[in-house]
Amino acid sequence: MNLECKHVFEALKWASSYLQDQNREANAARLLLQHVLDKDYTQLTLSMPDELTEEQQRLFVLLVEKHVAGIPVQYLIGTEEFYGRDFIVNESVLIPRPETEELVLEALKRIPKLFAGESNLKLADIGTGSGAIAISMKKEMPTLDVTATDLSEAALVVARKNAENLEAELRFLQGDLTEPLEKYSFDIILSNPPYIAVEEAELMEDVVLEHEPHSALFAEEDGLQLYRKLSEQLPSIVKKKALIGFEIGYLQGGAVENLLKTQFPQGKIEVLKDLFGKDRMVFCEIQ
């Protein structure tokens, strides 16, 4: 950073331009500067004429350079917003995406309709990662009994911390897919499993490929392996009336629909699009 960039507005202008020149999002400059100064957007705007200390300048430059090198902004600042709440993230968990918020929103719409007048509903979030889905569901619908699972103990450490910070009471279990849930039965199953085909890795951005956990991104069988396994395993843990919701890759709608139809021929199965008009969710209602 130019030594003359002592003021907040100068530092922001320099970083935005520099990031753009390096094919990174210019908006990352604002997020990194907010983190360095511990200010929200409004506070940052009001502090534009303020001077940065030498330590703040040094840290800001360091973070900008790390992002240019490919480290996602969310890992550098340690958080990502999801459904209006801040979640801790690190390289043990996938960074929550806006598309996954749509899975939560759709589940929240469907539960009162399908389970009208019922109480003590049990929900499982399989492959919880940071806990974004499970915790959001619990906060939005506090009467739910929520269990979250993950194969990764490191991911569960992050999820537990998020639940603690956000004051959400839920159960965390370690294990592969439905294996830790075999003693229970559920009304609602939600999952955003790894669904990117291994062959697609070469098409992905370096910030994702080099830093986010591959175990949370990729799956065999053209990305369908875990949907197949889940579809086969779920009949043993869901109740007679149940709601199943998956996030999917935009080309996987028909295949995932067929997998669920095979196991739940009586289910009402729908493939839903995200805000960008791409297939993004499959819901199965069983009555």
Confidence of residue 194 (pLDDT cuts 50, 70, 90): low
Provide the strand spans (E) within the chain.
Answer: 79-82, 85-88, 122-126, 145-150, 171-174, 186-191, 196-197, 218-219, 238-247, 268-273, 279-286
Gyration radius of the chain over CA positions? 21
Look at residue 56 and tell me whether its pLDDT is greater than 90. Answer: yes
Spatial neighbors of 60 by CB under 8 A, at least 6 apart, are 1, 11, 15, 32, 33, 36, 52
Look at residue 270 and tell me whether its pLDDT is greater than 70. Answer: yes
How far is the C-alpha of 16 from the C-alpha of 119, rounded, in Å?
50
Exposed/middle/buried for residue 236 (C-beta within 10 Å: 0-12, 13-18, 19+)? exposed
Q: What is the pLDDT of residue 187?
A: 98
pTM here?
0.88
Q: What is the pLDDT of residue 2?
A: 52
pLDDT digits (tens, 9 = 90+) for 15-47: 999 999 999 999 999 999 999 999 999 999 999
Which one is predicted more confidently, 152 or 202?
A: 152
Confidence of residue 196 (pLDDT cuts 50, 70, 90): low
pLDDT digits (tens, 9 = 90+) for 62-101: 999 999 999 999 999 999 999 999 999 998 998 899 999 9
Query: What six digits make up the tokens of 236?
Result: 């043993």
Confidence of residue 195 (pLDDT cuts 50, 70, 90): low
pLDDT digits (tens, 9 = 90+) for 203-224: 445 544 444 444 443 444 456 7
- Which residue type is seen at 188? I
- Average pLDDT of the residues of the chain: 89
Q: What is the DSSP letter of 176?
A: S
